[in-house]
Each structure stands twice: as structure tokens, then as C-alpha cells.
Amino acid sequence: MKFEGQHILSVAQFDRDSIQTIFNVADQMTPYAMRRKRTKVLDGAILGNLFFEASTRTRVSFGTAFNLLGGEVRETVGMSSSALAKGESLFDTARVLSGYSDIIAMRHPDSGSVAEFAQGSRVPVINGGDGANEHPTQALLDLYTINKEQQYGGGSIDGIHIAMIGDLKYGRTVHSLSRLLSLFNNVKFTLISPKELAMPDAILKDLDAAGHQVTITEQLEGSLDVDICYQTRIQEERFESQQEANKYRGKFRLNQSIYTKHFKSKTVIMHPLPRDSRADANELDNDLNMHPNLAIFRQTDNGVLVRMALFALTLGVEKLVSKYDTDVHWYSSKR
């Protein structure tokens, strides 16, 4: 796949080779993210960071990734403070804002909105989440994390067994991650959710067509021989009513004793975050915070590397990053 000048809208754009390219470039970003070196390869470039839906880590890590490559970030946050609230079309907003930026990252509550926006843009657009549809950069950072965790244990992505738990209907991260995983060989999926929040049929069909083994259950039961346990949040903002969402709150908890009961000692715990830590939800308990297999903060750190890689590739500077680097003189606890 050619990256330069391309939009990143869906995981359907990727094959195994392009994923490997992203992983290789992400690995090369480590010294910059660890503050051992700095690079000015994107000096003068501007990222338009448009977030029309709530976000902390995706928005800030896109911005941080761009800054770490030496570029500047202009941010628009919230629908009500933008001209979309005055009835402007996504096409017009894109046409205008792409005149002010070299690349755009965008999140929006409607499925398909980022692709529609991209049609009006004169610069590459990266999808930071479009409604319940897709979240390609999260899926890439999740896959990058899975790969690293598997390599650490001497394994690989091929042949893994992953349990996905919670809101598989509205959770865009599990949609995109499932599709990326389906590019690998013999992946086993155990999908655990209430019937009403099950994985969409279209994705199940794709997994089936690619020959993967899929088990669907409504409860966490017995002992599961899984490598990865991927927990999710009930996406309450996508339900018709809060009352409807409340029915599922707290149904899928994970804490130390539940983990020990159902998972093997090597099972890696992942979550795209934010985790709902309210007492009546508590989907990923603080009593797992010090667990060595809890990979949630490794995921968030990896998000910067993967987003740096995507910026470098889409702006065509991936081979120039070290040419523009210098030493770092300040103290950093990350090194």
C-alpha cells in the first residue's frame, strides 16, 4: 500500500505488509517518544486536530505524536463551538480547514462521517473514530501491543486466542481490531456480550469467511485458554436512552479474583480506555493496577508510536526522521 498523501479511514485499507511497515516505522519512533532524541522532520507542518466527540487519549496522543515529529497542532473541540452547529456541511468544513492544515485527524459521532469529510479535504484525513463504525488507529495500536506482548512471551499474532468482552455492538475498537486480526492465521475469537450487544453480523461473516474460529457466549464461564482478554466499556452515549444503557452497567466486571478464576496466568489484559471506574460499573478494577499482565498503559504509550508512524508515512518523511534529529539535554524519567 502507498501511504503518502492517503487518507486513513478504515482498517480495510491494510494488508499484512502495510501493517508490518507501520510497525517497523513505529519501532523507529521509540527514541523520540522516550525523549532520548528529538526530531524536527515536520518543522513547519500543521495538524488540524478536529474532535467533535469526547476524547482524551486519542486527541492528545495525535497532538503529542505530531509535536514529537516537530510539527504544530491546531485543535477544534466540540460540535457546538464549530460551524457544523450552524448547519455547515462536512464537505465545506473539510474544504476550509484543509486549507489551514497539512494533515487532519478527526473524530465525529456519526458512522461514515470521517469518510464524507475526507471527500472535501485537500490533505490526508485520519479517522480518530466515526460513531460506532471504526477506529483504525486504535486497532493498529492494539495490534502493535498484541504483537509486542506476544513476542515478549515468544509467540506471534498468528494462532492467538482473544476474548472480547462487553459492548461488542457499539464498540468501534473491537470492530476495527477484529477486522485487522482477521488478516492473520488461525485466530480464535471468544466473544462475550449480552445478545443485544453482540458483534455485528457483517464482522462475524468476515471472520468466518477468513476461516477463524468464533465462539459466542453471553457470560464469562469456565476457564478460558486465552492469550488476550480485551475488555470494553458499555458505550452509553450510543444507546437510545440512558435507562437502556444502565441495564448493562456492571454486567462485565474484571477484577483480580475473576481474572484468576477464568484466565490462565499469562493472559494479557487490554482495554482501549477509558475504563468506567464508577462503583456500579467498575469494569476493570483497580486491584489489577499493579498486575504485570495489565497492558492498558502500554497500549496508550504505544498509541503515540503508531500515530507518529502514520503521520510520517502519510506525509512521506519516514526515511528522513533521523536526518533531522538532535540530542536531548533535559532530564527525562522516560529514558
| In the complex, least distance from residue 154 CB atom to ligand NCD, rounded to whole angstroms | 28
Indicate if 135 belongs to the active site.
yes
Residue 58 appears among annotated catalytic residues: yes
Residue nearer to ligand NCD on the CB measure, 108 or 233: 233
User: Exposed, middle or buried, 301 (CB in 10 Å: 0-12/13-18/19+)?
Assistant: middle
Catalytic residue among 39, 76, 93, 107: 107
User: Cell numbers 485487522 correspond to what residue?
Assistant: 180
Does residue 122 carry a catalytic annotation?
Answer: no
Q: Among the options 2, 86, 334, 335, which is catalytic? A: 86
Of the pair 124, 171, the CB lying nearest ligand NCD is at 171
93 is annotated as an active-site residue: no
CB of 299 to ligand NCD, least distance (A): 8
- Closer of 70 and 129 to ligand NCD (Cβ): 129
Nearer to ligand NCD, 233 or 307 (CB): 233
Q: Has 334 been annotated as catalytic?
A: no
* CB-nearest residue to ligand NCD: 233
Distances 108 to 219, 226, 227 between C-alpha atoms, Å: 32, 33, 32
Closer to ligand NCD by Cβ: residue 42 or 73: 73
Min CB(333)–ligand NCD separation in Å = 24
What Å distances lie between residue 254 and 134, 141, 312, CA to CA? 25, 22, 37
**Shortest Cβ 132–ligand NCD spacing (Å):** 9
Question: In the numeric block, which cell numbers belong to residue 89?
Answer: 456541511
Q: Which of 220, 212, 240, 232 is nearest to 172 (CA)?
A: 232
Residue nearer to ligand NCD on the CB measure, 39 or 61: 61
Of 45 and 47, nearer to ligand NCD (C-beta) is 47
Cell numbers 492517503 correspond to what residue?
Answer: 6
Task: Please tell me the distance from the alpha carbon of residue 38 to that of residue 324, in angstroms, as a whole number.
Answer: 8
Distance CA 61, CA 65 (A): 6
- The single residue of 59, 108, 135, 175 carrying the catalytic annotation is 135
* Cα–Cα nearest to 254, from 239, 226, 276: 276
Q: Please give the residue ranges that form the binding site for ligand NCD (CB under 6 A).
A: 57-58, 129, 135, 138, 172-173, 233, 235, 272-273
Length of the chain equals: 335
Q: Are 187 and 203 in contact (CB under 8 A)?
A: no
* Residue 316 · residue 41 · CB < 8 Å: no
Q: Which of 7, 39, 58, 300 is catalytic?
A: 58
Residue 225 and residue 264 in contact, taking contact as beta carbons nearer than 8 Å? yes
Shortest reach from residue 86's CB to ligand NCD, in Å? 26
Residue type, 139: A
CB of 332 to ligand NCD, least distance (A): 25
Q: Cβ neighbours of residue 239 under 8 Å, at least 6 residues apart? A: 170, 245
> Shortest approach of ligand NCD to residue 16 CB, angstroms?
24
The answer to whether the bond into 274 is cis (omega within 30° of 0) is: yes
Q: Which of 40, 57, 188, 298 is catalytic?
A: 57
End-to-end CA distance of the chain: 34
Catalytic residue numbers read 57-58, 86, 107, 135
